[in-house]
Amino acid sequence: MTDSPKTNLLGMTRQQLEGFFTAMGEKPFRAVQVLKWIHQHWVEDFQDMTDLSKALRERLAQVAEIRAPEVVYDQASADGTHKWLLRLDDGNCIETVFIPEKDRGTLCVSSQVGCALDCTFCSTARQGFNRNLSSAEIVGQLWLANRRLAPERSVAGKAPERVVSNVVLMGMGEPLLNFDNVVDAMRLMLDDNAYGLSKRRVTLSTSGIVPAMDRLKETLDVALAVSLHAPNDALRDKLVPINRKYPIAELLDACRRYVREERHHQRITFEYVMLEGVNDSPEHARQLIALLRDVPCKINLIPFNPFPETRYRRSGDAAIRRFQEMLANAGYTTITRRTRGDDIDAACGQLVGKVADRSRRALRFARLEGTGGTAP
């Protein structure tokens, strides 16, 4: 006879924890106490939760645990960026990146092991796909980052300073294809008894899963970024194949619904990777200007970050500057993202982790490379 597995409390929302304690015969308010210990003090030993009775701490140690992914390595870039390789229980690995800036600390979080989509300019897509991350594995990345980067641990009951001020779900995977677990993790990020982040400081990035965008609009109010990368369907079909299912017109309609009247203060961020000779011409800029005319938005231009065997090249500085100037002159708030962490392969589009590929996509790419072919 084997012992029953312990319940991991790390990914439980306040409501879920209340149900957990009620089932134990405890008062629901225990949930808030434990939430604060886990997510504000980063405690992983129940014996350190000093405002719980000794008997309750012993019961929790028997039936529950606080378990985050294992850090395999922590690599620091010359510009201060950190990349962690995290091992999961099944042996798969994911990557998480922390980007420090003067006025913020941004954590780029993964939501899947690999990616189920097939964007041709992204190294994660080439690794194939294994599974969705649990809510504990998602929020565990934030828990670990704060714990490892904090200048000091909790002293005399005072929570240590949190280094991460912004979270972007822009790491490995398509967040909206792991909807429930991603939403639970974001609820913890927003909960004042956990991380207490502003809804404008939690951003979900999607390639355009239209039904899930509408579901998110009705479920949780967070910032939304859309990986657009092309101003017309013919080109986007090649770069972002999910466009064949949800073409640009449907995607933009979903974006307009997301910034409905009661969210009038919100804008969609459109992400646009700059690929030399592919999507960076003045004509592409003119098409983009016309396409987004009635969508409240800002545009984030991302210089392409190369990876082994890619057929794409980064647009030149002059081409990016010209593209940005055309958008700005048309009235769009346009930012060219500064490449961070590319010396440790931590820049946008470079995360790969270690994926036991169930989609066989990695094998397909290997065969194409062996025959001199190119992926679709």
- 306-353: pLDDT as tens digits: 887 788 999 999 999 999 999 999 999 999 977 654 554 544 544 455
Q: Output DSSP code: residue 172.
A: S
CB 35 within 8 A of CB 51: no
- What integer is the mean pLDDT of 148-165? 67
What is the Cα–Cα distance from 10 to 5, expressed in whole angstroms?
A: 15
User: 10 Å Cβ neighbour count for 73?
Assistant: 10
User: How many helices (H) and strands (E) in the chain?
Assistant: 12, 14
Q: What is the pLDDT of residue 342?
A: 53
CB 326 within 8 A of CB 336: no
pLDDT band at 80 (very low <50, low <70, confident <90, very high): confident
**Structure-token pair, residue 40:** 């504000």
CB 247 within 8 A of CB 233: yes
Whether the per-residue pLDDT at 156 is higher than 80: the answer is: no
Taking the complete model, does pTM exceed 0.95, yes or no? no
DSSP per position, 262-310: GGTT--EEEEEEEBTTTT-SHHHHHHHHHHTTTS-EEEEEEE----TT-
- What integer is the mean pLDDT of 85-93? 93
What is the Cα–Cα distance from 219 to 312, expressed in whole angstroms?
A: 37
Q: What is the pLDDT of residue 124?
A: 76
- What integer is the mean pLDDT of 117-142? 89
**Structure-token pair, residue 113:** 């092991």
Q: What is the pLDDT of residue 174?
A: 96
Q: Which residues are catalytic?
A: 95, 348
The tens digit of pLDDT for each residue in 199-247 reads 999 999 999 999 999 999 999 999 999 999 999 999 999 999 999 999 9
Residue with tokens 């207490």: 196
CB 8 within 8 A of CB 67: yes
Whether the per-residue pLDDT at 376 is higher than 80: the answer is: no
Whether the per-residue pLDDT at 125 is higher than 90: the answer is: no
What is the Cα–Cα distance from 23 to 77, expressed in whole angstroms?
A: 46
**H-run or E-run covering 58:** helix 54-63
CB 303 within 8 A of CB 274: yes
Q: What is the pLDDT of residue 107?
A: 96
pLDDT band at 360 (very low <50, low <70, confident <90, very high): low
Do strands 297-303 and 333-336 pair parallel, antiparallel, or not at all (unpaired)? parallel
CB 193 within 8 A of CB 233: no
Q: How far is CA 320 from the centre of its chain?
A: 25
Q: What average pLDDT is seen over the chain?
A: 88
**H-run or E-run covering 219:** helix 210-219
Of 3-17, 19-33, 82-96, 346-360, the least confident: 346-360
Q: What is the pLDDT of residue 157?
A: 52
The tens digit of pLDDT for each residue in 247-295 reads 999 999 999 999 985 555 689 999 999 999 999 999 999 999 999 999 9
What is the Cα–Cα distance from 262 to 171, expressed in whole angstroms?
A: 29
What is the Cα–Cα distance from 328 to 334, expressed in whole angstroms?
A: 6
Q: What is the pLDDT of residue 353?
A: 55
Percentage of the residues of the chain whose pLDDT score is greater than 70: 85
